[in-house]
Structure 1
Amino acid sequence: MALLLGVALVLAIFPVDFLLPHAGGPWAPQGDAAQHAIAQRYFIGDAWRWPPLLALNLLPPDGLNIAFADGIPLLALPLKALRAVLPEGFHGIGLWYAIAWTMQPVAAVWCLRGTGERRLLPAVAIALAASAMPAFINRYGHAALTGHFTLLVALGLYLRLARGQSAALWGAAVLVAVATLLVHPYLAAMVLALLAAVPATLLLRGDRGWFAAGLGLLACVVAVGAVMAAFGYLGAQGDGGYGDFALNLLSPVWPWRSWFIGGLVNAEVDATGHGGWEGYNWLGLGLLAGLLAVAVLAPRDLLRALRHHAGLALVLLGLTLLAVSFRVGLGRGVVLDLGAPPGFLEQFRASGRFFWPVGAALLVGCIALLARLPRIGPVAVLLLGAVQFLDAAPNRAAIHAWAATRMPWSVDAPTLRHLLAGADSVAVFPTWPCVPKPDTFGDHTRQLQVLSLAAERPVPANTMYVARWRGERPRCDDEAAMARPLAPGELRIILPGARSGPPPAACQEVGALLACRGP
């Protein structure tokens, strides 16, 4: 049932041409989704290299590690192996949404079984509720981060390992941790945190198995670190800003896009001035009602579960504090500012995401405890799942509208495709480091659209929008680069922000752009 639910949601929400894209499309990809698709297309179209995630046809001569452009290496690697049978210009960003939405309810049922609950109605309830978790649905535009099923799998492994360890289970944990890293590093950090709860829980129980669990956790950390080193992750850095995109203390109960009570608010809650999207963690009316029911009807069972899983409770508390950050927001204001955080925390700019495992654990624990109530338990959790599913209707409508949006090209796509077909390389100016901020709908968008067109072949390109980079932040050196003569086979695209004076003789007007061709 969970599998069928996931497939049905995929078919209802995502258009076929979104799931299975091809070159030559009449509509333009937008925002972060365009970045991810460009990275995958360039990677799939390039030769195999070492490190394995390197696309040398982007940002030559050093190339781009597609993990730094959120290209979902776990899916990109097998797609690259199958490129001979894929349609021209195919990428797997839409396909990943299908995988994530299908796996979410399936992983939730598997996780619930780790609590010992194997009855039908609780399984149906958690499948419905997990597929309707608002923080999961609200990740449209960022495909990799829809992989919340990895958190449910890790939580299911914790529940089984805390009950009885085995080499097979820890081997599975190693594979899950590495695979999650190849989805997104944020999710991998959360998975490792959940696995760290195993030795913590066993130690607090006085169970001698905590040492073996510590070795199992060490194996997971070493495996993740080895893959990071081999695949070129180490040394990456981003823009910083820990605390800018944090969890607001009201976010779990702030009913933005709630079908039942969403009319009480008109936007995400935000205290930092950066918008509340990254910290959006509305738990859903069904889950909140279920948590209240457990607290009122089964307080002793709740306290017993907290004592039995004390290590997990501490890990979840730590993740919540990390999500809240050093600038504690309550409603529209910051109520506590602890000053500058330690430097290593700057890697977690979008700290509000770290509440996702907490929401998953609350859901699984709530349904497991509520289902055990005499007589009413199974029916109560089914009602919880149904309310949660209905409450998420506005969120599902929003992601469907996003996936079905067909934005026209803001550049002359047919002409640029014709020019790119005869080019050996493309140089776009201004390059990404030189686009002034803010530039939401200007040269940054045009740059992504030109790169989206170039990626259909793909044509080697000089620039790319990246989330992270190795070494120093890329510097703007467009003036020197544009002064160089056009190389043979080079197509130089000059966006409005880099134009000055009359167009050179080798250039032609292409809408608001200049297209210059080398000899």
Structure 2
Amino acid sequence: MINTHYKKNAFIIPLLIAICVFFYVCGPRCLNPSNIAWLFDGDSAQHYLGWAFFRNSPWSFPLGLNPDWGLENSSSIIYADALPVFSIFFKCLNFLLPEVFQFYGLWFLTCFILQACFSWRLLSIFKLGTTLKFFGTFFFTFCPVIFMRLGGHQSLTAHFLILWCFCLYYANLEKKNAVEWMICLSLTVACHPYFSVMCLSVFGAFICKEFFKKRDVQNISNLFLLIILCLVSIVLTAWQIGLFVGTAAPSSDTGYGFYKFNLNGFLNPLGSSFFLRTQAHGGGDYEGFAYLGVGLLFLIFFIVVLDSVNSFRQTKIFIKKSLPLCIFLFFLLLLAISNNISFGNWQLKLYSVKAGSFLQTFRSTGRFIWPVWYFLILYAFVLLQKALNNHLISYKVTVIMLTSFMLFQLVDFHEFIHDNVRKVLMNNNSLQWGDQSKDWDFLRKKYSQIRLLNNPGLGYHKWRELSLIAANHRFKTNVFYLARSDSKILSERKKLDESLLKSGNFDQKTIYVLSDEDVNKIKQEVTTSQLIIKLDGFNLLLPIGL
């Protein structure tokens, strides 16, 4: 019988593994809450700015609304990928925080610690020895699919949620575990909705397992109650973080079938390996990155060969014990592959998807391969323990082999970590955000918001710089960069802006940012009370002057 308990005093081993992996991969500089230099590039700027506006905006209901970033185009922190679970928590402590504060380095450390702890717990359920739990926890924590997200998709590093669900799947239906399911599934929404799909799949497998194990009235009632409680928890969490705010479509209605898992994904390093070359792949296959690493490939190959001697007896036992989970993981695999089956450069498109559908909402389906990736590691270590128990391999050989595989894994990813991950996270040059004049503080005494006229939305190339100016000096602004945008609102606002430029009836509490073309249009019509200046590279119209 599977043991669902693990020793509390064993926390120190996974903690040490997590801390070592974190500092090896990330380095210490991202832990500095005042260092935002490494958050300038790509989506990282969006995540930080979403938090920067949210922390200084008044509390709202739902809690996750973020009205100051985007104004009429605004939505909530979830659509800025600003990690709602941390954003809401630290907003409660905002009165204690410095003027510049980022929590993403702390979030990474938290993720690594929880990744290691749930790995240890999962392996403990299968009664693995301490040595195998040590190596297993390392391979779960030294995780290349997480490394690929550290430089730009901070909220997608919460892979511990997948392992937590695995722990709960292999446990029995108890009151304590029911509460954990509610908390875990709620956190998936508060971290990133992609995790909700993955973890709900594991939850569905758990419900099926428990249903077929015992189909009496009491058990069915308990399962039904658990489903209701979990769904209510998810909906309430989604409501409070602002997931249901607005009806805007995704910023891009393409991607499904492009951001997919390639069938060579477990073997294709996409430039991350020291030993293996990048294989043929599609342009969006990086979203389905699932390279196992040379160390894990050797381990899984060894386990498969070892079990084949015994007609795959232990594999069959493990799959039978995990059958509902295997079925649901197979469906996640199909989602990851998408409608565009590909192996290297070869592709076969099976069907088309309408714009605005569920599959276009979760268009980066390649990410759904992650639970399958972790299941392969679990399979390898469970069967290795069985081989030890059955004396098919000695303890000494096992330790030597796992140590070798661990070293291969470290060497395989060392160069990629050094040149790509650490290079970003160890950056402390904040000058790339641009200098900000002290005159903004003076302007803040007269004006409360900054409005970009004829705002193109996501196409505005200086959204980072202007948004940071607004956030640092507590202006509201219509400039934004969000996962959801409404083209109708932008189109209607452009008509109002054109009328505004013709009438000259500018709001006296608003600083207007003009293009060079707009400046030439109105400079002859500016009244004596109005003033056009250039500040930090922006043309500003001040309705009531300085």
Shared fold (TM-score, shorter chain, > 0.5): yes
Whole-Å separation in 2 of the counterparts to 1:22 and 1:190: 34
Whole-Å separation in 1 of the counterparts to 2:444 and 2:298: 58
Q: Secondary structure in 2 aligned to 1:71?
A: coil
Match of 2:436 among 413, 432, 438: 413
Q: Structure 1 runs of 4+ off > 6 angstroms?
A: 25-28, 470-473
Identify the range of structure 1 (235-244 vs 12-21) with the bigger mean alpha-carbon deviation: 12-21
- Consecutive unaligned residues of structure 1, counting only runs of 5 or more, are 436-442
| Map 1:405-484 → 2, pairs under 5 A | 405=427, 406=429, 408-409=431-432, 411-414=434-437, 417-418=440-441, 421-422=444-445, 423-429=447-453, 431-433=455-457, 435=459, 443-444=460-461, 446-468=462-484, 475=491, 477-478=493-494, 480-481=496-497, 483-484=499-500
1:99: Cα distance to partner?
1.7
Residue 490 in structure 1 maps to residue 503 in structure 2: no
Alpha carbons of structure 1 residues 469 and 512: separation in structure 2 relative to 1, 3 Å: closer
Whole-Å separation in 1 of the counterparts to 2:109 and 2:515: 35
Alpha carbons of structure 1 residues 476 and 149: separation in structure 2 relative to 1, 3 Å: farther
Residue 391 in structure 1 maps to residue 412 in structure 2: yes
Q: Which residue of 2 aligns with 1:360?
A: 374
Identify the range of structure 1 (461-470 vs 128-137) with the bigger mean alpha-carbon deviation: 461-470
Alpha carbons of structure 1 residues 259 and 17: separation in structure 2 relative to 1, 3 Å: closer
Alpha carbons of structure 1 residues 180 and 432: separation in structure 2 relative to 1, 3 Å: farther
Whole-Å separation in 2 of the counterparts to 1:318 and 1:412: 50
- Larger Rg, first or second structure (1 or 2): 2
User: Contact conserved, 2:54 with 2:77, CA < 8 A, in 1?
Assistant: yes
1:483: Cα distance to partner?
4.6
Whole-Å separation in 2 of the counterparts to 1:125 and 1:426: 54
Q: Which residue of 2 aligns with 1:21?
A: 33
Instruction: Give the residue type in structure 2 aligned to 1:464.
Output: F
Alpha carbons of structure 1 residues 28 and 145: separation in structure 2 relative to 1, 3 Å: closer
| Cα deviation 1:167-201 (Å, max 9, x = unaligned) | 11011111111012101111122111111111223
Whole-Å separation in 2 of the counterparts to 1:177 and 1:101: 19
Q: Which residue of 2 aligns with 1:59?
A: 70
Residue 311 in structure 1 maps to residue 324 in structure 2: yes
Instruction: Give the residue type in structure 1 aligned to 2:510.
Output: E
1:254: Cα distance to partner?
0.5
Instruction: Give the residue type in structure 2 aligned to 1:283.
Output: L
Residue 294 in structure 1 maps to residue 315 in structure 2: no
Q: Secondary structure in 2 aligned to 1:492?
A: strand
Q: Secondary structure in 1 aligned to 2:450?
A: strand
Q: Which residue of 2 aligns with 1:126?
A: 136
Whole-Å separation in 2 of the counterparts to 1:8 and 1:430: 50
Q: Secondary structure in 2 aligned to 1:486?
A: coil
Match of 1:42 among 53, 67, 71: 53
Q: Which residue of 2 aligns with 1:438?
A: none
Alpha carbons of structure 1 residues 491 and 265: separation in structure 2 relative to 1, 3 Å: same
Match of 1:72 among 63, 83, 91: 83
Residue 372 in structure 1 maps to residue 386 in structure 2: yes
- Consecutive unaligned residues of structure 2, counting only runs of 5 or more, are 1-12
Instruction: Give the residue type in structure 2 aligned to 1:516.
Output: L
Name the Cα RMSD after superposition.
2.9
Identify the range of structure 1 (283-292 vs 170-179) with the bigger mean alpha-carbon deviation: 283-292
Q: Which residue of 1 aligns with 2:106?
A: 95
| Map 1:339-350 → 2, pairs under 5 A | 339-340=352-353, 343-350=357-364
Q: Which residue of 1 aligns with 2:4?
A: none
Whole-Å separation in 1 of the counterparts to 2:454 and 2:432: 19
Q: Which residue of 2 aligns with 1:138?
A: 148
Q: Which residue of 2 aligns with 1:509?
A: 534
Percent of paired sites with the same residue: 21
Q: Secondary structure in 2 aligned to 1:252?
A: coil
Whole-Å separation in 1 of the counterparts to 2:379 and 2:209: 16
Whole-Å separation in 1 of the counterparts to 2:411 and 2:203: 32
Q: Secondary structure in 1 aligned to 2:352?
A: coil
Match of 1:402 among 404, 424, 427: 424
Whole-Å separation in 1 of the counterparts to 2:168 and 2:488: 39
| Cα deviation 1:264-287 (Å, max 9, x = unaligned) | 227xx533x4x3321211122222
Instruction: Give the residue type in structure 2 aligned to 1:10.
Output: F
Alpha carbons of structure 1 residues 201 and 237: separation in structure 2 relative to 1, 3 Å: farther
Whole-Å separation in 2 of the counterparts to 1:175 and 1:410: 37
Q: Secondary structure in 1 aligned to 2:285?
A: coil
Give the TM-score taking structure 2 as reference length: 0.83
| Cα deviation 1:468-487 (Å, max 9, x = unaligned) | 25896754733532652432
Give the TM-score taking structure 1 as reference length: 0.87
1:502: Cα distance to partner?
6.5
Whole-Å separation in 1 of the counterparts to 2:412 and 2:78: 34
User: Contact conserved, 1:199 with 1:211, CA < 8 A, in 2?
Assistant: no
Identify the range of structure 1 (364-373 vs 404-413) with the bigger mean alpha-carbon deviation: 404-413
Q: Secondary structure in 2 aligned to 1:409?
A: helix
User: Contact conserved, 2:49 with 2:467, CA < 8 A, in 1?
Assistant: yes
Q: Secondary structure in 2 aligned to 1:373?
A: helix
Identify the range of structure 1 (239-248 vs 354-363) with the bigger mean alpha-carbon deviation: 239-248
| Map 1:323-342 → 2, pairs under 5 A | 323-340=336-353
| Map 1:243-282 → 2, pairs under 5 A | 243-262=257-276, 264-265=277-278, 269-271=280-282, 273=283, 275-282=284-291
1:432: Cα distance to partner?
4.9
Q: Secondary structure in 2 aligned to 1:329?
A: strand
Whole-Å separation in 2 of the counterparts to 1:87 and 1:13: 27
| Cα deviation 1:454-511 (Å, max 9, x = unaligned) | 2124311112111125896754733532652432232223357x75636736222346
| Cα deviation 1:403-448 (Å, max 9, x = unaligned) | 134374375533675566444111135535362xxxxxxx43x112
Residue 220 in structure 1 maps to residue 230 in structure 2: yes
Q: Secondary structure in 2 aligned to 1:509?
A: strand
Whole-Å separation in 1 of the counterparts to 2:423 and 2:411: 18
Match of 2:124 among 98, 113, 116: 113
